[in-house]
Amino acid sequence: MRTSALMGGALGLGGFGDPGSGGRPSPPAQDAKRILILGGTGFIGPHMVRYARARGHELTLFNRGRTNPHLFPDLEKLVGNRDGDLTALEGRTWDAVIDNSGYTPQQVGATARLLQGAVGQYVFTSTRAVYTDFTPSTWTRARPSG
């Protein structure tokens, strides 16, 4: 959670208030940002979208348009594929990118290279990297070395 709080603070998304706040969100951000969310309609994406919207940020979602396409009908949605079709991102700028959908180093690298110079900050959220075997039937958590 510390990393998540640091990430949120860095992007102006805010934390979850004082320890005694009961988990209530912080007030709206003073400086709204233009944020691109890679993914946004599955896994942790919808939670991040809702929170960023509540803080007053302007959001654009980039995904394949397959998972929960009905979510967030009023947001700008760019359709593409992390495995080779990033053209919808070309020529655009954002204050920040939240990358929730990078499954391979190649996907993250290609997107980061394309957006270099077009974004102020790139935040990558890795969840899959904790597994040693990517075969779904044999997922096991990686053990820390040492």
**Whole-prediction pTM:** 0.74
Report percent pLDDT > 70 for the chain: 68
Output the pLDDT for position 89: 98
Output the pLDDT for position 25: 59
DSSP H/E element including 9: helix 2-10
The whole-number average pLDDT for the span 28-51 is 93
Distance CA 78, CA 87 (A): 9
Q: In which residue are the tokens 């790139």 written?
A: 122
Which is higher by pLDDT, 105 or 131? 105
The whole-chain average pLDDT of the chain stands at 81
Q: Given a cut of 50, is residue 95 above it in pLDDT? A: yes
Residue 57, sorted as left (phi over 0), alpha (psi -120 to 50) or beta, turns out to be: beta
E strand segments, the chain:
34-38, 58-63, 76-79, 94-99, 119-124
Residue 8 · residue 33 · CB < 8 Å = no
Output the pLDDT for position 143: 52
The whole-number average pLDDT for the span 127-140 is 59
Domain ranges of the chain: 2-12+30-138
Residue 72 · residue 62 · CB < 8 Å = no
Q: In which residue are the tokens 């990558």 written?
A: 124
Output the pLDDT for position 28: 82
pLDDT tens string 110-132 = 999 999 999 999 999 876 655 56
The fold for domain 2-12+30-138 equals Rossmann fold (3.40.50)
